[in-house]
Amino acid sequence: MKQRVPVSQIMTKNLETLTTNQSLYEAESLFKKHNIRHIPVVDGKSIVGVLSYSDLLKISYADVNDNEDTVESVVYDMFTIPQVMAKVPLTVTADTTVKEVIEILAKQTFHSLPVVENGNELVGIVTTTDLLNYFLEQY
């Protein structure tokens, strides 16, 4: 296995993002349209939070049946993205190694890390799926 691989080589760079004034309906639509589970929330180019699909499930009266992943969204009107997102998320830089990312995620309950440069400017996101795909490529 390669040593000292920077996370910039495996992170997702073409990001879907949200702003704090978008709705949870818009967020759910992005999750489903792009088949993703984490969306960075930005103010301009700066990361201010991360919204995960499981965050939506936590606040909804999840009515998921066997044939489709449909979230009962009655409560979406009661909450805003800033109320539901993980605020001030832990971040890494593009030169953080894959090993360091694994060490961070192994100790946490979340499954993604925004990748930032120049302070707080979002340049990517690395998820457990990115890590698994990287390991699959090694075999």
Query: What digits encode the pLDDT tens for the residues 14-71?
Result: 999 999 999 999 999 999 999 999 999 999 999 999 999 999 888 876 444 444 544 5
Run of H or E residues at 123: strand 121-127
- How many Å apart are CA 116 and CA 47, to the nearest integer? 8
More confident site: 69 or 8: 8
Task: List the chain domain ranges.
Answer: 7-138
Give the confidence band of 73 by pLDDT, cuts at 50, 70, 90: low
20 neighbors 43 (Cβ within 8 angstroms)? yes
Confidence (pTM) = 0.85
- Look up residue 5 and give its two tokens: 């691989």
Q: Provide the CATH topology of domain 7-138.
A: CBS-domain (3.10.580)
